Amino acid sequence: MNTEFAQIGGIDVEIVRKKIKNLHIGCYPPEGRVRVAAPDHLSADAIRLSVLTRMPWIKRKQAQFREQERQSPRCFVSGETHFLFGRPLRLEVLEWEKQVHRISRQRNDRLVVKVPRDSETRQLRRWMDEWLKAELRRQAEPRIDIWAGRMNVLPAKWGIRPMKTKWGSCNPDKRIIWLNAELAKKPERMLDYVIVHELAHLISPKHDDRFTAVLDREMPRWREIRRELNDLPLAAWENKYSHGQ
């Protein structure tokens, strides 16, 4: 794999050459970064022409990202609102003398975090990320089993990790599926959509008619749910990561 950069039509474009058959152009949040995955044999002129042909679409996507709402940065102090599967929770941070931390959801509207005295913000962020990841795994595991059974597919492995440009990914050859850790903050129906989307790639690796037919059959409202997911406020990136699908 070889990466190069070029300016095409007045915008910076990242070009990644791979052993693939077809060229793919992506435009990713939060700023509308343009990335091209191109076959090794394709000429620079051919890549340039493809990008210029798609320029109206690229400009529209970049404008959408600029207008999209952003969450304010999280400081992990009492009174902040944090989200768990789309539900707003009021954060309450309590210091205690123990050298361990505890995170618990109380009632339907509070998230209580007990931390050692003088804990730093970066520690709270890490503990919260770990807790959210565990909550996402708890929700995702039975859903993957149910959807895989319905769709008659069997992933060899699945996991959760921060992802820069996608809500999920699938390696059809190795039958490995990854979910974006940020899905812990989104409604469950959106988690279901991403799971079905990635499992469908075990039936058809490409976004072709066969792939679309699987989504239409298993989740008739998938286009609406995808639009809702991509219209939600983006995270405050704070040297973390961005995502898109």
Give the chain's domain count: 2
For 154-209, how does the pLDDT look when each residue is reduced to its tens digit (9 = 90+)?
A: 999 999 998 877 899 999 999 999 999 999 999 999 999 999 999 999 999 988 89
Quickly list H helices, the chain. Answer: 44-53, 55-67, 121-151, 188-200, 209-218, 222-231
CB atoms within 10 A of CB 236: 12
What residues contact 124, with CB distance under 8 A and at least 6 apart? 76, 93, 113, 115
In terms of residue numbers, what domain contains 173?
A: 81-231
| Position 12 in a domain | yes
Distance CA 183, CA 161 (A): 10
51/164 same-domain check: no
**Residues 166 and 189: beta-carbon distance below 8 Å:** no
pLDDT at 238: 35
Same structural domain for residues 128 and 189?
yes
Last residue of a domain, one of 20, 40, 67: 67
Same domain, 90 and 208: yes
Within a domain: 197: yes
Q: Is a pLDDT exceeding 50 seen at residue 242?
A: no
Least trusted range by pLDDT, from 23-27, 62-66, 214-218: 62-66
106 and 166 assigned to the same domain: yes
> 43 and 94 in one domain?
no
Q: Do residue 146 and residue 34 come from a single domain?
A: no
CB 28 within 8 A of CB 36: no
Q: Say yes or no: 50 and 96 in one domain.
A: no
Q: Domain check: are 58 and 137 in the same one? A: no
Judge whether 74 lies within some domain. no
Structure tokens that stand for 148 in this block? 């895989």
Q: Which band of pLDDT confidence, cut at 50, 70 and 90, is reported for residue 241?
A: very low
Question: Domain end: 42, 67, 92, which one?
Answer: 67
Looking at the domain assignment, is residue 239 inside a domain? Answer: no
* Count of CA atoms in the C-beta half-sphere (13 A) of 36: 29
- The answer as to whether 76 is a domain residue is no
Same domain, 49 and 12: yes
Query: Does residue 108 have a pLDDT over 60?
Result: yes
CATH number, domain with residue 119 = 3.30.2010.10
Q: What is the pLDDT of residue 30?
A: 64
| 172 conformational bin, left if phi > 0, alpha if psi -120 to 50, beta if neither | alpha
Q: To the nearest whole number, what is the mean pLDDT of the chain?
A: 88
Same domain, 155 and 38: no
Tell me the whole-structure pTM to 2 decimals: 0.71
Q: Are residues 118 and 44 in the same domain?
A: no
Same domain as 211, residue 144: yes
Domain boundary (67, 95, 112) is at: 67
Environment class of 240 (CB within 10 Å of its CB; exposed 0-12, middle 13-18, buried 19+): middle
